[in-house]
Amino acid sequence: MVVSPSVSELLSKYTALLGQLGEFVLVTLIVYVFGRLVVQPLVSWGFARWNLEPTLERTIEKFLGAGIVVGAVVVGAWAAGFGGLLGGSALIFAALTLAVGFAAQDVLSNFVAGVFIVQDPNFNIDDWIEWDGRAGFISDIGFRVTRIRTFDNETVTVPNTELATTPVTNRMSNEMLRISYTVGIGYTDDIDAATRVLLDVADEHDVILDDPEPTVRVADLADTAILLQSRFWIADPDREDFSETRSEYIQTVTERFRAADVDLSTTSQHELAGELTVHEAPPEP
């Protein structure tokens, strides 16, 4: 069988192309495996020595993972002789990037917001935050969204732009957190006795040796009760410590009030004045 020169050249070109593709795949895999098995462990080892914040550490690891993939593809393309194709397609890539940029404005805005969130030292993984009537712990900060674990162990995915443009309360950004509790007592009860109980129990849970000390104030005079507000401080706050301390405080106050004969009910007795008149019902026809 005689093969024409044109067919022979075509087969030669396809064989060379297959060889280049094989070289591209092989080099790409080698570079990728090297990055995953050598570069990433070295970077993680460096993180352990530098004691970086978990938020910054995880973000750098994500960038590194994406960089390894891109770097492996580029090195594989150059090694296989596709460098000219990459260089000649620069304008095409630029045009595609511009088109994708216009089509993915929300994604890009979330990415930029995520960068600002990551660099914020008061916004870290495992922090307890509250925003827009919701609350939970930050479990992960991604390029587009932040994942938050609620107190019911549900995962909420929040766009980064929402957290960047919404007031966010970080309960764990400072070394101390104040606990406030309001209790109602009857109008006939001894306010001084109730105040002493609240201060004594607050002193037992308070962790601040200097100012500010625990305080008790009259918060309001409600229709059926005098409202007293107690405030004290705890150190290194997290959700579990806050909840346990507040629960223990309420339980102890309830027991001490009972021992001091202080009424915790929201009702109180008031003296009534006036006349009471009884009218007889008319006889039935």
CATH of the domain at 131: 2.30.30.60
What confidence tens digit (pLDDT) does each residue in 171-226 have?
A: 877 778 888 889 998 888 888 889 999 988 888 877 655 567 888 999 988 888 88
Enumerate the β-bridge partners of residue 184. 227
**Do 165 and 145 sit in the same domain of this protein?**
yes
Q: Is this model's pTM higher than 0.95 or not?
A: no
Instruction: Provide the number of structural domains found in the chain.
Output: 3
Residue written as token pair 């995520």: 114
Question: How many Å apart are CA 76 and CA 62, to the nearest integer?
Answer: 21
- 98: in domain: yes
Q: What is the CATH number of the domain that holds 210?
A: 3.30.70.100
**Do 152 and 82 sit in the same domain of this protein?**
no
Give the residue numbers spanning the domain of 207. 176-259
- 143: in domain: yes
What confidence tens digit (pLDDT) does each residue in 28-44 have?
A: 888 888 888 888 788 77
Q: What are phi and psi of 227, to 5 degrees?
A: -95, 120
